[in-house]
Amino acid sequence: MSLASYAVVDKDSKGRAYPEAPPKDGRSEFARDRDRVTHSYAFRQLSGKTQVFTPASNQCGSSPSDKILYDDSMRTRMSHSIEVAQVARSIARALNLNEDLSETLALAHDMGHTPFGHSGQDVLNDCMKPYGGFEHNIQSLRVVTDLEHRYTQFKGLNLMFETKEGILKHCSAKNAAVLGDIAARHRDKKSPTLEAQATDLGDAIAYMCHDIDDGIRSGLVSPRDFEDVELFGRCWREVQSRLSGQPEALQVQETLRDMMGLMIRGTIAHSLQNIERYGIKTLADVRNSPEVILLPDGLAQQHAQLKSQMYKKLYHHQEVSLVRKDVEQVIGGLFQVYMENPHLLPAGPAGETRVQPNDTDTQKARVVCDYVAGLTDAQAYQQVKRFEPLLSAQRTLALF
Ligand code: MG
């Protein structure tokens, strides 16, 4: 079946920075992008990076909490990205969009994420304040344009323009001013492609469901913490009456599945109405219209309520915050050690020395930041332990 007239298609794409012959095996250009992402180093690293819980803290001996039932099946940034891809593809397929592009964006959207989830990002951003800051969307773009090193002809993965543009989901005016064409839509206040919109919403739907799942399995929260919030409560009560007497763990799974289905179906119906309402026929119409792939108003409000309950009960839970305290020590410690001793940085992907003798502090800081952001949780812990003698006394005390 051919794609909708407003979908992104190979032939109308702005293409790759370095022109390449089309794939010889019948794949679309965007399927090729997805495969480049899947085979990349940064994508594999996501399997060792925190989503909400940090199982590595148990193995690495840094303030493990005995109140959290850590489990290696907890979501990581990689399983999160795969679940986002599943939701994004369901929406894209139903709207007859370019499913390969939505999938690629989902798999790539967190490639620039630091170890230790959002606290890792906050700490690295603090370290980088004097040198231009750190932001994970821009970092994801840096990974695919600069940091991956797998080809002789170019740096990065040489992805399609629309893929790179979709990866740059948010961007400050200051950054947009220097990022060229890729950030044009941020400067001109245009909407992202529908494929990117499907992925953005897929992210919000996926994390809500899987973070509740992991939260309950961790023992820190229970269905009682969410039953008064409509989106969860309505599905939960319906499941309890339909499946009364079944084990609670299975009732939770049924509830989360129903909740996800409700949000996906609601999004598809509402988005089709919006496409009709704004008279969207072409990709240019998409860019000039408000965003259309959205939850219907009622569900959007309920999603926001559930999100704020998640912050209260889970993301800001004391036991989750305990691990966060370590993050400042680990990420801050590594940043300090590598800034003071750049020769300790391992060689780059092509065997190159990462910091050159005449690099400015800003250049050096960016190299250190790229390296630290690319580590898994466990690598970061292991390295900071090895550098214990080089850490400031204050950091050493807090860590060990
Ligand atoms: Mg995400």
Residue whose structure tokens are 């309920």? 302
Mean pLDDT by 10 residues, the chain (400 residues): 93 95 96 98 95 63 60 90 98 98 98 92 96 94 95 96 95 87 93 98 97 93 97 97 96 98 98 98 98 97 97 87 78 94 93 93 98 95 89 59
CA 73 from chain centre, in angstroms, equals: 18
Tokens representing residue 317 in the block: 């839970």
Contact 75, 210 (CB under 8 A): yes
Q: How much distance in Å is there from the Cα of 51 to the middle of ligand 1?
A: 9
Q: How much distance in Å is there from the Cα of 82 to the middle of ligand 1?
A: 10
Q: How much distance in Å is there from the Cα of 259 to the middle of ligand 1?
A: 18
Contact 200, 91 (CB under 8 A): no
In a 3-state reduction of DSSP, which class is residue 50?
A: strand
Contact 217, 310 (CB under 8 A): no
Q: How much distance in Å is there from the Cα of 70 to the middle of ligand 1?
A: 21
Instruction: Give per-residue pLDDT as tens, 184-197.
Output: 999 999 999 999 99
Q: How much distance in Å is there from the Cα of 31 to the middle of ligand 1?
A: 20
Q: DSSP of 98-109, one letter per residue?
A: -HHHHHHHHHHT
Contact 327, 119 (CB under 8 A): yes
Q: How much distance in Å is there from the Cα of 325 to the middle of ligand 1?
A: 22
Instruction: Give per-residue pLDDT as tens, 47-68.
Output: 999 888 876 554 444 445 666 6
Q: How much distance in Å is there from the Cα of 102 to the middle of ligand 1?
A: 13
Tokens representing residue 360 in the block: 């400015």
Contact 83, 201 (CB under 8 A): no
Contact 70, 218 (CB under 8 A): yes
Q: How much distance in Å is there from the Cα of 206 to the middle of ligand 1?
A: 9
Q: How much distance in Å is there from the Cα of 358 to the middle of ligand 1?
A: 37
Q: How much distance in Å is there from the Cα of 169 to the middle of ligand 1?
A: 11
Q: Using CA atoms, how far apart are residues 319 and 324, in angstroms rounded to an integer?
A: 9
**Pick from 206, 209, 250, 216: nearest CA to 68:** 216
Q: How much distance in Å is there from the Cα of 220 to the middle of ligand 1?
A: 22
**Pick from 134, 190, 146, 149: nearest CA to 166:** 190
Q: How much distance in Å is there from the Cα of 211 to the middle of ligand 1?
A: 11
Q: How much distance in Å is there from the Cα of 152 to the middle of ligand 1?
A: 31
Q: How much distance in Å is there from the Cα of 110 to the middle of ligand 1?
A: 6
Q: How much distance in Å is there from the Cα of 48 to the middle of ligand 1?
A: 15
Amino acid identity, position 29? E
Contact 10, 30 (CB under 8 A): yes
Q: Using CA atoms, how far apart are residues 395 and 389, in angstroms rounded to an integer?
A: 10
DSSP run (H or E) holding 227? none
Q: How much distance in Å is there from the Cα of 121 to the middle of ligand 1?
A: 13
Q: Using CA atoms, how far apart are residues 250 and 197, in angstroms rounded to an integer?
A: 32
Q: How big is the chain, counted in residues?
A: 400
Q: Using CA atoms, how far apart are residues 91 and 88, in angstroms rounded to an integer?
A: 5
